[in-house]
Structure 1
Amino acid sequence: MTKERLAAAIADRMPRARADLAALVACRSVFDARIEDPAECARAAELVRSLVAQAGVPAALEATPDGSSAVCGRVARPGAPRVLLYAHHDVVPVGDVAAWSSDPWTLTERDGRWYGRGAADCKGNLVALLLALQALTEVVGEWPVEVAVVVEGSEEQSAGGMAELAAARPDLVAADVIVMADTGNIEAGLPTLTTSLRGTGSVRITVRTLAHAAHSGMFGGAAPDALQALLTTLASLRSPSGETTIDGLDASGVWPGAAYDLGRFREDAALLAGVDPVGDGAIGDLLWARPAATVLAIDAPATARVTAAVQGEASAIVNLRVPATMDPAVAQRCLVEHLRAHTPYGLVEIEPLTLGRGFAARTDGPAYAAMRAAMAAAYGREAVETGQGGSIPLTVALAELHPDAEIMLLGVEEPASRIHATDESVDPAEIARLALALALFLTGLTNLC
């Protein structure tokens, strides 16, 4: 009966959840003063603090070293299992507003979905967390576990503020179980636990050959072309089939979790007709078990400003993603050495830019068993496991601070959500299902400690 009562309580609160999400989406909380007014992030943080308090968790704004504001609160239950619920209130920029079908800062319903920047990533996840706590209070009364809530304000910028705050104030994030609500399901209605995050690193490579560009009619053919040298170098990062090949890095890994259907990948990645995925492995292998190098940008003359000249300098930024089991620092060194070795001529300068460790969850503990059972009950389907190509830096920091804690990643996002893109949206049914799963999960943790 508890499941039915929780489901009813959540259903009754969905109009309020929509209103809360609309208020959150209206905050233009991009943590970048070059793009949005910092007052918008402050407004979002205060709204989140208020909503968390209304859900039963007294919370405060905590300043982080990167200048963002995190919302942190805790309801103590001495002797009970400690559960940390995480989300973030900042969002990525909206890009070209004209490309959106509706105002990105106004939650808009179309065909049963709610559209707006942050509707899924990550304000929709936050609403699901709060909805679970509210329903649990109505149905059960006093929560059976100790609940802490952390809502970060700069996750999308990877500025590291919350990680530094957690290191300085580990009491804010102390927990036996950590629920990171910042991912989602591989398809709507299929409960999914993300158990692997790839490590990441990027470098800038610059090739110089001439003191200045030289006329191609006078010097082309003998003058060393820096742009051509760079292109040759970058081409060496891929095999004939398109799979990443970096000297010294293993590219034979196999993903043990749920398979990524080829048809679904085509749709999710928006492949054009007649274009196939690259590489020789299964999609899951290529995404989560093997290194992947991506050329993010090239500094070279734009075609709109073309001149007949051999280029004396060209540069590019190369991003490297590696499986959670691979040391990203070692991988980045391999990338640097590979680029040097495969540049055919010219003076080469390579600068490491970013570096982030991957994460592999320990999934054999009692909390994972409780979450799988809760998800199965809430969704009517058994949970599956997947990986994620991106990184959530705080996950690694929390794993280091609390190595014995069980950390699970989940959320309301799914392929149709189009997070980080135009027309981001959330299926409200995903919010309701996740809220029910979380409420059931919290009721099933009483024997954890």
Structure 2
Amino acid sequence: MSYEAYFESNREQHLDELKQWLSIPSISALSEHKGDMQKSAEWVADALKRAGLEQVEIHQTSGHPIVYAEHLHAPGKPTVLIYGHYDVQPVDPLHLWTTPPFEPDIREGKLYARGAADDKGQLFLHIKAIEAILKQEQKLPVNVKLIIEGEEEISSESLPPFLQANLDKLAADVILISDTHLLAPGKPAISTGLRGLCSLEVAVNTANTDLHSGTYGGGVPNALHALVALLATLHDDQGRVSVEGFYEGVPELSPLMREEFAKLKLDEDKLRAGLGLEALYGEEGFSFPERTGARPTLELNGVYGGFQGEGTKTVIPKEAHAKITCRLVGSQNPQDILDKIQRHLKAHIQPGAKLTVTPREKAFAFNIDPEHRMLQLAADAYETVYGTRALFTKDGGSIPIVELFSRLLSVPVVMMGFGLPDENLHAPNEHFNLENFDKGLLTIVEFLKRL
């Protein structure tokens, strides 16, 4: 039986199984779902056993469980380490969901549920692709290991120590991850880079209490004024970050990468109109895909302070706050960037205002040469199934564990995504297009066989 026929004949059963998994509310960020996290880990462990994987283990951590499995019966062949996560984002605001987030529903060729695309649905493809090969051929063309965690959505705190303690166990020739997306329907893509990340919170304090703006206005520092003036120093008029040394370690875009970005043929006017904007904005000299995929950023995520209620309150606030994140590229060091931003803020805070900076997340950027043989094989696999060769892109988001995998295990990471950009990841009505469910299964089989 061909793989197309096999997957078609088992499609309803496979989707029913995936719905079972999606019904488990494995929200890692909320402590009330700790039991659901264990239940989800047990579900995927059972699915791995049913698929024919061996040495299936659930490792308890100080956070949520890590699941491991393997099938090592291809001597002399490459070993593939497949990574995924079973935890999902919170579902708020609940009233914006058309159907309940943990009651999976198929509508118009799309499977709706929290986790459908990020990442249960995509990870499920790997399990069923392996199962299909074993049932069809009774052996795998390569050696396979799987590591599945439950903390990706909350920074993967338990995974690094697990990796460090199990380097020999996890040794492989290539790491395979499906947690990204295609460019558009029928247009596959392979990410050759993920931006790194650092974040911080800024607090500005002035007087020891809020003050009446009639009695004190014009004579004392205003925490909101001080904060807004301070934040305005972080960029110049051309959208470039003004922090001294911020761009150290940022590589120039190679002609090859600029060519790949150009192949995306992004209609920036259509993008602008779709977002309801009069103009796009960003660092001069770069296209939108280059700005969002290959250049570093410094963004304000929240600025707040003073009176927030209805009507007017004539007050001079004593404190103001901001949340800042930076996306990093190349060899930018997250701690170094945090240090530089803190020095900049201290140098530009106005007299009479006190500054407090609290660093938060840190993650390095990940990059891989698009000409690497493993990536070329992945592009070949996409072309066989989709009829179109995958383009090589850089993803503006961050998956911190990818860089750690690459660095600790010293192997290439192949990111073969099957989602689409508009599938509402982290938002209400998350869904997975079933066309890519079907083609994803065939593409993974093709890639494993090509290896």
TM-score when scaled to structure 2?
Answer: 0.91
Aligned partner (choices 368, 373, 382) of residue 361 of structure 1: 368
Q: CA RMSD in A?
A: 2.2
Verify the 8 A CA contact 2:301 2:324 in the aligned structure 1. Answer: yes
Secondary structure, aligned partner of 1:286:
helix
Among the aligned pairs, what percent are the same residue?
27
Verify the 8 A CA contact 1:199 1:322 in the aligned structure 2. Answer: yes
Match of 1:69 in 2: 65
In 2, the alpha carbon distance for the partners of 1:277 and 1:172 equals 47
Aligned partner (choices 295, 320, 324) of residue 314 of structure 1: 320
Aligned partner (choices 21, 28, 31) of residue 28 of structure 2: 31
In 2, the alpha carbon distance for the partners of 1:368 and 1:263 equals 27
Deviation by residue 1:74-104 (Cα, 9 ceiling, x = unmatched):
1113332101111110000011111111111
Aligned partner (choices 333, 347, 371) of residue 378 of structure 2: 371
In 2, the alpha carbon distance for the partners of 1:155 and 1:441 equals 25
Matched, 1:330 2:330: no
Deviation by residue 1:29-85 (Cα, 9 ceiling, x = unmatched):
011334x42111111111111111111112111123x42111101111333210111
Deviation by residue 1:371-398 (Cα, 9 ceiling, x = unmatched):
1211110111011111222221221221
Aligned partner (choices 337, 349, 357) of residue 350 of structure 1: 357
In 2, the alpha carbon distance for the partners of 1:444 and 1:60 equals 28
Match of 1:412 in 2: 418
Instruction: Give the C-alpha shift of residue 241 in structure 1.
Output: 4.5
Unaligned runs of 5+ in 2: none
Verify the 8 A CA contact 2:227 2:320 in the aligned structure 1. Answer: yes
Secondary structure, aligned partner of 1:417:
coil
Match of 1:10 in 2: 7
In 1, the alpha carbon distance for the partners of 2:269 and 2:2 equals 37
Matches for 1:374-389 after TM superposition, within 5 Å = 374-389=381-396
Secondary structure, aligned partner of 2:422:
helix
Matching residue's letter, 2:439: R
* Residues 270 and 247 of structure 1: CA distance in aligned 2, closer, same or farther (over 3 Å): farther
Aligned partner (choices 254, 257, 261) of residue 258 of structure 1: 261
Deviation by residue 1:394-449 (Cα, 9 ceiling, x = unmatched):
2122112211x22111222211211111111101111221221111111112xxxx
Verify the 8 A CA contact 2:251 2:330 in the aligned structure 1. Answer: no
* Residues 401 and 131 of structure 1: CA distance in aligned 2, closer, same or farther (over 3 Å): same
Instruction: Give the C-alpha shift of residue 277 in structure 1.
Output: 4.0
Aligned partner (choices 49, 54, 57) of residue 50 of structure 2: 54
* Residues 408 and 327 of structure 1: CA distance in aligned 2, closer, same or farther (over 3 Å): same
Instruction: Give the C-alpha shift of residue 243 in structure 1.
Output: 4.8
Matching residue's letter, 2:364: R
In 1, the alpha carbon distance for the partners of 2:188 and 2:38 equals 33
Match of 2:243 in 1: 246
In 2, the alpha carbon distance for the partners of 1:319 and 1:217 equals 36
Secondary structure, aligned partner of 1:396:
helix
Choose 244-253 or 319-328, whichever is displaced more: 244-253
Verify the 8 A CA contact 2:307 2:313 in the aligned structure 1. Answer: no
Q: How many residues align?
A: 439
* Residues 372 and 203 of structure 1: CA distance in aligned 2, closer, same or farther (over 3 Å): same
Match of 2:278 in 1: 274
In 2, the alpha carbon distance for the partners of 1:165 and 1:28 equals 24
Secondary structure, aligned partner of 2:38:
helix
Instruction: Give the C-alpha shift of residue 296 in structure 1.
Output: 1.8
Unaligned runs of 5+ in 1: none
Verify the 8 A CA contact 1:197 1:360 in the aligned structure 2. Answer: yes
Match of 2:346 in 1: 340
Verify the 8 A CA contact 1:9 1:138 in the aligned structure 2. Answer: no
In 2, the alpha carbon distance for the partners of 1:7 and 1:335 equals 54
Matching residue's letter, 2:365: G
Instruction: Give the C-alpha shift of residue 203 in structure 1.
Output: 1.3
Matching residue's letter, 2:407: E
Verify the 8 A CA contact 1:31 1:90 in the aligned structure 2. Answer: yes
In 2, the alpha carbon distance for the partners of 1:11 and 1:107 equals 20
Verify the 8 A CA contact 1:57 1:149 in the aligned structure 2. Answer: no
Matched, 1:188 2:194: no
TM-score when scaled to structure 1?
Answer: 0.92
In 2, the alpha carbon distance for the partners of 1:426 and 1:283 equals 26
In 2, the alpha carbon distance for the partners of 1:242 and 1:422 equals 32
Secondary structure, aligned partner of 1:166:
helix
Matches for 1:43-442 after TM superposition, within 5 Å = 43-58=39-54, 59-64=56-61, 66-77=62-73, 78-250=75-247, 253-254=252-253, 256=258, 257-259=260-262, 261-263=265-267, 271-280=275-284, 281-304=286-309, 307-345=313-351, 346-403=353-410, 405-442=411-448
Matching residue's letter, 1:364: E
Deviation by residue 1:336-378 (Cα, 9 ceiling, x = unmatched):
2222223233122222222111111244333222212111101
Secondary structure, aligned partner of 1:46:
helix
Instruction: Give the C-alpha shift of residue 261 in structure 1.
Output: 4.8
Choose 420-429 or 172-181, whichever is displaced more: 172-181
Instruction: Give the C-alpha shift of residue 155 in structure 1.
Output: 0.5
Aligned partner (choices 420, 442, 450) of residue 444 of structure 1: 450
In 1, the alpha carbon distance for the partners of 2:20 and 2:295 equals 41
Verify the 8 A CA contact 1:13 1:131 in the aligned structure 2. Answer: no
In 1, the alpha carbon distance for the partners of 2:360 and 2:179 equals 25
Instruction: Give the C-alpha shift of residue 120 in structure 1.
Output: 0.3
Deviation by residue 1:302-352 (Cα, 9 ceiling, x = unmatched):
521652111121121211111133222222222222222232331222222
Instruction: Give the C-alpha shift of residue 249 in structure 1.
Output: 2.1
Matching residue's letter, 2:280: D
Verify the 8 A CA contact 1:413 1:419 in the aligned structure 2. Answer: no
Matching residue's letter, 2:218: G
